[in-house]
Homo-oligomer: A and B are copies of this chain.
């Protein structure tokens, strides 16, 4: 195979370890310079490819690339941008191939979730039709842990660890104050469709009666207000406090999100609050308990300072594996993590065809949720525990993590045409 360049892009919401995957891709490509001339990254994800806005990662020092392994966020920028279907917007795909051709891109690494796997799959198909076959690899990433086929998604272990640790710490705070102050604490976490992140909050305690969190609200379980309030009251009367982890995706039986509570501000504008204040107010109005709530939001998915060592290692591994698979002639596949055993936790990298991954969502299985719907089962613990295991601290300077900012030097444009995204 002749020497070609590789294109790498990050897609969708970032994670604490997506740059570790970038690090795995670039370092592995550099070890194979006889096959891969250079890695060009898309500035702001796939938009960089469409607009021929490429970043020359060859201009980054080995040290800067190595530092990606411990730097959160998306080092080259990412985008929430889904390519349309080929029939709807063939021009986008043709443009991609045009850019790839102009820059001798023989490898396409797309680091994202379900949608991105669909895109990578389509690019692999159309590139052949357009006479410039590109090797297309999906590289898994998502805090939501909702990709099918793969045992767990890189990015999830770290958000899970953040949520478990934060829940455990806040619970100690609330408990020590509960005699005269806050009785109910609510932590809002991500996961609009799948309850994986909320489930991770369950690791804060051992699962024994009275251990926090006392209630988890999952998107998979229709919200039952009466049962919920009853449980809050029981927890406060038995244990003096109640710690609640609530997924942003929690819904009423009619499908409406709790977060869409129809609250309005002083001017009558609809207020797009989070779900935590809605739950807090429900508790106050019905039970009168003093409450506090936290909204973790972006903190949870950027908290590289408390990343899971398992997660950081796997994020790097899928990046490295993607390059190796590409060099081995594989295309339209995604490296996956396959669990071999829970205790001791053993895993290996395997692969799955993109067609099997694209556009499918893996929800939290019902057997991971207790029968009353408010906590996690032993099976869920067995699944989750290895994923949060190990600490992988970034280096610090003067009390703050020493995260890298890349130079992000642009590749000179070769096309005369612009493309409006």
Q: Taking beta carbons and an 8 Å cutoff, which residues of A are in contact with B? A: 10, 13-14, 16, 44, 47, 71-81, 161, 164-166, 168-170, 172-182, 185, 187, 203-204, 261-266, 269, 271, 273-274, 276-277, 281, 285, 292-299, 301-306, 308, 310, 385, 388-391, 393, 396, 398-401, 403
Supposing A173-B301, A261-B265, A301-B173 touch, asked if A399 and B393 sit within 8 A by C-beta, the answer is: no
Within 8 Å CB of A390, what residues of B? Answer: 399
User: Do residues B305 and A306 form an inter-chain contact, with CB atoms below 8 A?
Assistant: yes
Residue in B72, B166, B388 whose beta carbon sits within 8 Å of that of A299 in the complex:
B166
Further pairs besides A295-B295, A388-B400: 14, Cβ < 8 Å: A14-B177, A73-B175, A74-B177, A76-B176, A77-B175, A80-B181, A165-B305, A169-B302, A170-B299, A170-B302, A204-B400, A273-B277, A293-B297, A294-B294
User: Do residues B174 and A298 form an inter-chain contact, with CB atoms below 8 A?
Assistant: yes
Within 8 Å CB of A176, what residues of B? Answer: 10, 14, 73-78
Question: Which 5 A-B pairs rank lowest in CB-CB distance, beginning with the nearest?
Answer: A73-B172, A74-B176, A388-B399, A294-B297, A262-B266
Residue in B281, B299, B310 whose beta carbon sits within 8 Å of that of A271 in the complex:
B281
26 A/B residue pairs, CB under 8 Å, sorted by A: A72-B169, A73-B169, A73-B172, A76-B176, A79-B177, A80-B180, A164-B400, A166-B303, A168-B400, A169-B299, A169-B304, A170-B299, A172-B302, A173-B302, A174-B298, A204-B400, A263-B264, A263-B265, A263-B266, A269-B281, A273-B277, A294-B299, A305-B306, A308-B399, A385-B399, A391-B393
Within 8 Å CB of A73, what residues of B? Answer: 169, 172-173, 175-176
Residue in B78, B281, B294, B306 whose beta carbon sits within 8 Å of that of A177 in the complex:
B78
A10 to B177, CA, bound (A): 10
Supposing A73-B176, A389-B398 touch, asked if A294 and B296 sit within 8 A by C-beta, the answer is: yes
CB distance from A115 to the nearest CB of B (A): 13
User: Do residues B403 and A173 form an inter-chain contact, with CB atoms below 8 A?
Assistant: no
Report copies per complex: 2
Within 8 Å CB of A304, what residues of B? Answer: 169
User: Do residues A403 and B168 form an inter-chain contact, with CB atoms below 8 A?
Assistant: yes
Within 8 Å CB of A74, what residues of B? Answer: 173, 176-177
User: Do residues A285 and B299 form an inter-chain contact, with CB atoms below 8 A?
Assistant: no
Within 8 Å CB of A182, what residues of B? Answer: 298
Within 8 Å CB of A306, what residues of B? Answer: 305-306
CB distance from A65 to the nearest CB of B (A): 17
CB distance from A197 to the nearest CB of B (A): 15
CB distance from A306 to the nearest CB of B (A): 6
Within 8 Å CB of A14, what residues of B? Answer: 172-173, 176-177
Within 8 Å CB of A263, what residues of B? Answer: 263-266, 271
User: Do residues B285 and A269 form an inter-chain contact, with CB atoms below 8 A?
Assistant: yes
Closest-by-CB residue of B relative to A18 is: B176
Supposing A71-B172, A185-B298, A295-B294 touch, asked if A400 and B177 sit within 8 A by C-beta, the answer is: no
Within 8 Å CB of A13, what residues of B? Answer: 177
CB distance from A161 to the nearest CB of B (A): 6
Closest-by-CB residue of B relative to A243 is: B298
A314 to B165, CA, bound (A): 24
Residue in B169, B276, B293, B403 whose beta carbon sits within 8 Å of that of A172 in the complex:
B403
A182 to B12, CA, bound (A): 12
Supposing A14-B176, A293-B297 touch, asked if A165 and B401 sit within 8 A by C-beta, the answer is: yes
A79 to B180, CA, bound (A): 6
